Structure 1
Amino acid sequence: MAIHGFLERHRGATRVLTPIALGVALLVVLTWALWSAPPRTMDTALTASTTDCHDMVTLSIAGRGDTPRSGTTKMLVDANGRELPAASADDYVSDWIDQASNAPLKAVAPGSYAAMYIAYPADMASYENAVTTGVANTESVIKAIRASCPDTKFAIVGYSEGADVARRVAMNVGHQDANAEGGYGIVDPANVVGVVILADAGRAEGQGPFPGAKNPFTNPDGFDVKYQNGRNPVPGQGVTPDTGGSDFGALAGRIASFCSDGDLTCAAPQNISLLQLVVNVGRQLNIDALEREQLTPATGIDVATVLSRIALDAFAHIQAQPNWMQNDETFLDVLLTVSNPSYTRPTAPPTTTTKQSETGTDNATTDSDISTPVSGETDSIQVEKMSPLAYLPQKLFKEIVGLIVTNQNTIPVIMSDPYQLTLGPDVGHHFDYWRDADQANGKPLTSADYAAAWLTHLAKQAQNGQQVNAAAKPSAAELAAALNEVTSSAAPSSTAPSPGTPSPAQPSASAGQPPAATTAASPTPQAPAPATTPEVVVPETTTAGTEDVSSPADASTSAPQTTTVAPTTTSSAAPTPSG
């Protein structure tokens, strides 16, 4: 009664306090729910699952800003409903890669083939972090699919920043050693039937499009369709040589590494050491923040931290070499070495100075063992300490000569406007792969169309239960069918985020138009393997910035809209200028 009487007397206050109390209660409930939420799972009936087995799965890694993101895209889940860093092509569309990765869908039975996109930061908050996270995510998805579907074949496609991810995954897979039971940590290399790398930043000098193949300039093993007639390599090399090279181990002959002359991400000339130093540093900086905020105290600290670490590593590198003044290594060489993101700091074990006693045993040197030298000995020691200075003129000469020789092409590259050359709207060679057909000179297909035809051929082989046959020669009918699938995959283009990979240029972004996209039909799942699914650890993916801005090798621009392909002739539409 006392409470009832109180409420009657304070009816106005009750009206005010009631919604406040309800709000506080709701806040407490939500806080408890958020902090005590279990690991995120999804309804497997509404999204793709690793338990839906396919004969072949293509995992694609697109460029900067072009990636599925948890919360906005339905993600792939494992056998336990746990979210994985990938999305089906039914749920995510990349207008840059769909043309190649979706081409096999109409050429094989429903459910035999699936195309998926790997989620990764796809930014330049730290290029190295984005790429290494992409590698870890790709490998974790492969392991999860392999656990449920051990017979599935894999293909990997990467473009721009995603091309670096695809290359590193391919090299990791190709250089695995089997364990005592004959198993592999990632996947049996025999089950990775093809890898497509568009704008290969790790490309080696003189490397052909198909490294390790019997015909490295014309076709991958098992697909006897010529990509081109010529045998001259694209000049230059990729801008990330530390993670590159032409040795893909067990995957040799199953790699398509495409590079366009003039795309400085994969065709940077030799002797641009100062620009290479800039690239090395840029791979460790938060380029997104620098482009968005310019130089501020926060971004300045980031730059200073990276430069200070490089300087300290350089002096430590020199100090570890007592005869550095006498050798041919220049200070620029040292900076190029220690600025490389893959540089490993040497760990020198502690040394103990010993002396031989009269009895022949080694005794540790102590302060009492060190005698004061006479004047003659003092002069000798001082001369010995001063001897490196005798090499100073020669060292300075080597520094000057080295700087000139290793930068013969630096000024020409800068004068050529590297941004316009690589990423410029309508003319940037970073987007040639959808418009580089040249029928008159023996190149009937664009690089993207050739990749689509090859993936279609591989998907048909996987559907028929065939391994990659290095001596296989597709019939005219099979080739025509594959090319028809490529043609049918073309559709009106739409605006997409810009791709990205590091290059000597650091321009600001401009909106662009990517090539044609294809919406894939939902595959019908096959019966999964009865094996139990081991726990798959998915690396944490850092959230990319909301702004799509250009990296040291990336900016949005125009790409071709539609490519019409036939077995004998190919016509490519010119890219549409960005707005």
Structure 2
Amino acid sequence: MPVRGFFSRHRILAGAVAPAALGVAALVAVAVAVDSPQSQTIETELTASVTECHDTVGIGVAGRGDTPVEGTTKMLVGADGTTLLPAALTDDYSSHWVDPVLKAPAGSVKDGSYASVYIAYPANMDSYEEAVTTGADNTRAVMKAISAACPNTKFSIVGYSEGADVVRRVAMDIGSESSTSGINPDNVVGVVIFADAGRLAGEGPFPGAENPYANPNGFNQQYQNGKNTASGSGALPGTSGDFGALNGKIASFCSDGDLTCAAPENISLLILAANVGRQLNVDQLQAQNLTPATGMDIAVVMGRVMFDAFNDISSNPTWMQSDETFLDVLLKVSDPAYKPSEATTTPVAKDSVSTEEVSPLAYLPQKLFKEIVGLIATNQNTIPVVMNDPYGLTLGPDVGHHFDYWRDSDAANGKPLTSAEYAAAWLTYLAKQAQDGKPVDSSAKPTAEEMADAIDALAASPSVTDSAKPTTTTGEAVQPAPAGSESAAPAPAAPTTTSVAPAATPSVTSTVAPSTSVESSEPPAATTTTTTSTTTTTQAAAG
């Protein structure tokens, strides 16, 4: 092979890059998903099934540790009355962070016009990539099942933190009109993403909109004056992409200092670390630190990355002459979405090395120079980021910028609403349009009354503070509450449901019709609901 001799000469460089990536892998990976400790809840007898339809269904995907869990939460039941789906009504499960946006439309439309659900997925860091992939699969499955039962239903989707990555992937898939989505993009009226790890540098809050810095298409209410946007780009550039048919229907909010979506440029080693971290069992690494088991996990992932890197180089006979550095290759092959290329020829053992095979070594001095220059140039901000407490900057209690979206209004500078308030007002407006059977009017501006209704609905939600734990309403098991202050959260109104005993929940996709109530122009069928009193307590969180 042309680079056979070069591999041995690159051992020093590989040895230098690998430890650097390992040193920050866990740090960056943890920063991608907020740990949302669960709160104590009391039982409810509600189990929802598909017995009616709604004009709009809101789909919520929350962050790390903030998801319905089968066995402790009443899950949606399919049209057959027995099959469980990976989702729960927001009356049966509650997220402290996402609730104020996802539930806002319900208070401004007629009873039965709007329903909302939370998607169940393994929102953990056992394997970030597997968790997000499962979340995306489950989201698509629930939406397809709702569409099958109620083809006229419109969808709004909200994702935060780890759930933001899930929602981005689902929205890109639906927008591309791929065969895997199975969802008509015309039926998705709005998508809200808080802390978008796939955000592009310089991208405004409303990608693909006529005015990407001011408002989404069809909602002529400005989010802000001017063209302000967060610096940097998302921490997971490999997840970036166009939203296709959903362009103009996306709100992607990012705050400066939230390194999940506003990572500085020229931090290639940190991006490499994030790619590696997405494939590690970070939960185990956090709990046990470096042990033989966690060390083996790291070694397996790093070994696979190095093997793929050398395989990629060997498949390119002119790699030595190219400008691509070894770090470039590592960044490429460490992305979980990377698919190794297949060798076009089968290596044959030889007794000697030809002149042609040795000739690439003539480029070795120049290649090493490019490696050094590239390493320095693409990591100018790595040391400043690491030295500036990236975890505290992003996730620190009371100060972490990952929680800015509920407190980032700046009326004096032309931004009267927080990002969460603006999103709630937008989704409320869309729900009203769907209720009235109106297509979205791109020139329409919400009335003062409509804006007031949206803000009132947001204010009626449990108070959101940057140090509070998410509120989780579960159905059967009661988890012990950690020490901390308690405040009672208001119990939401019960939806029209049917009572079905829950079974064990898979974290895999189910393709049967969902048990949520979904849209219809006909009056809902009468059903019975049994419920016990529900009390939810929320404790202070570390974020």
2:435 is aligned with 1:463: yes
Q: What CA distance in whole angstroms lies between the structure 2 residues aligned with 1:513 and 1:262?
A: 28
Q: Which residue of 2 aligns with 1:141?
A: 142
Aligned pairs (5 A) from 1:72-471: 72-81=72-81, 82-177=83-178, 185-245=181-241, 247-350=242-345, 382-471=354-443
Q: What CA distance in whole angstroms lies between the structure 2 residues aligned with 1:519 and 1:253?
A: 34
For the 8 Å contact 1:422–1:430, the answer to whether it is kept is yes
- Structure with more contact order per residue of length (Cα contacts < 8 Å, sep ≥ 6): 2
For the 8 Å contact 1:238–1:268, the answer to whether it is kept is yes
- Deviation, 1:75, is 0.5
- Deviation, 1:467, is 2.1
Q: What CA distance in whole angstroms lies between the structure 2 residues aligned with 1:338 and 1:385?
A: 25
Q: What CA distance in whole angstroms lies between the structure 1 residues aligned with 2:400 and 2:225?
A: 24
Q: What CA distance in whole angstroms lies between the structure 2 residues aligned with 1:198 and 1:513?
A: 27
Letter in 1 for 2:291: T
Pairs aligned (count): 454
- Deviation, 1:48, is 1.3
Cα distance change on mapping 1:315 and 1:177 into 2, 3 Å: closer
For the 8 Å contact 2:259–2:394, the answer to whether it is kept is yes
SS at structure 1 position matched to 2:100: helix
Q: What CA distance in whole angstroms lies between the structure 2 residues aligned with 1:511 and 1:418?
A: 27
Q: What CA distance in whole angstroms lies between the structure 2 residues aligned with 1:239 and 1:513?
A: 34
SS at structure 1 position matched to 2:213: coil
Q: What CA distance in whole angstroms lies between the structure 1 residues aligned with 2:412 and 2:193?
A: 25
Q: What CA distance in whole angstroms lies between the structure 1 residues aligned with 2:147 and 2:68?
A: 22
Unmatched runs of 5 consecutive residues or more in structure 2: 1-44, 473-481, 499-504, 510-538
2:456 is aligned with 1:484: yes
Letter in 1 for 2:61: I
Letter in 1 for 2:449: A
Q: Which residue of 1 aligns with 2:478?
A: none
2:441 is aligned with 1:496: no
1:540 is aligned, of 502, 508, 531, to 508
- Deviation, 1:46, is 3.9
TM-score, normalisation: structure 1: 0.73
Cα distance change on mapping 1:540 and 1:477 into 2, 3 Å: closer
SS at structure 1 position matched to 2:227: coil
For the 8 Å contact 2:122–2:135, the answer to whether it is kept is yes
For the 8 Å contact 1:126–1:283, the answer to whether it is kept is yes
Letter in 2 for 1:80: D
Deviates more, 1:156-165 or 1:462-471: 462-471
SS at structure 2 position matched to 1:60: strand
- Deviation, 1:517, is 6.4
Q: Which residue of 2 aligns with 1:555?
A: none
Q: Which residue of 1 aligns with 2:32?
A: none
Cα distance change on mapping 1:273 and 1:62 into 2, 3 Å: same
Q: What CA distance in whole angstroms lies between the structure 1 residues aligned with 2:401 and 2:99?
A: 20
Deviations 1:492-536 (CA, angstroms, capped at 9, x unpaired): 77953599xxxxxxxxxx99999996643223479xxxxxxxxxx
Cα distance change on mapping 1:416 and 1:185 into 2, 3 Å: closer
What is the percentage of aligned positions where both structures have the same residue? Answer: 62
For the 8 Å contact 1:73–1:91, the answer to whether it is kept is yes
Letter in 2 for 1:454: W
Q: Which residue of 2 aligns with 1:364?
A: none
Letter in 2 for 1:332: L
Cα distance change on mapping 1:511 and 1:117 into 2, 3 Å: farther
- Deviation, 1:298, is 1.4
Letter in 1 for 2:389: D
Q: What CA distance in whole angstroms lies between the structure 2 residues aligned with 1:519 and 1:332?
A: 53
Q: What CA distance in whole angstroms lies between the structure 1 residues aligned with 2:484 and 2:237?
A: 28
Deviates more, 1:263-272 or 1:101-110: 101-110
Cα distance change on mapping 1:185 and 1:125 into 2, 3 Å: closer
- Deviation, 1:146, is 0.8
For the 8 Å contact 2:95–2:471, the answer to whether it is kept is no
- Deviation, 1:230, is 2.3
Q: What CA distance in whole angstroms lies between the structure 2 residues aligned with 1:511 and 1:421?
A: 25
SS at structure 2 position matched to 1:206: coil
Cα distance change on mapping 1:300 and 1:577 into 2, 3 Å: closer
Cα distance change on mapping 1:192 and 1:231 into 2, 3 Å: same
Deviations 1:271-323 (CA, angstroms, capped at 9, x unpaired): 00011111010000000000111112211111111011001001101111111
Cα distance change on mapping 1:135 and 1:516 into 2, 3 Å: farther
Q: What CA distance in whole angstroms lies between the structure 2 residues aligned with 1:149 and 1:485?
A: 26
For the 8 Å contact 1:158–1:198, the answer to whether it is kept is yes
- Deviation, 1:52, is 2.7
Cα distance change on mapping 1:195 and 1:412 into 2, 3 Å: same
Q: What CA distance in whole angstroms lies between the structure 1 residues aligned with 2:128 and 2:301?
A: 14
Deviations 1:242-263 (CA, angstroms, capped at 9, x unpaired): 1113x20000110000000010
SS at structure 2 position matched to 1:523: coil
Q: What CA distance in whole angstroms lies between the structure 1 residues aligned with 2:330 and 2:434?
A: 48
Cα distance change on mapping 1:244 and 1:224 into 2, 3 Å: same
Q: What CA distance in whole angstroms lies between the structure 1 residues aligned with 2:158 and 2:268?
A: 30
SS at structure 2 position matched to 1:292: helix
Letter in 1 for 2:223: Y
Cα distance change on mapping 1:65 and 1:425 into 2, 3 Å: same
Q: Which residue of 1 aligns with 2:501?
A: none
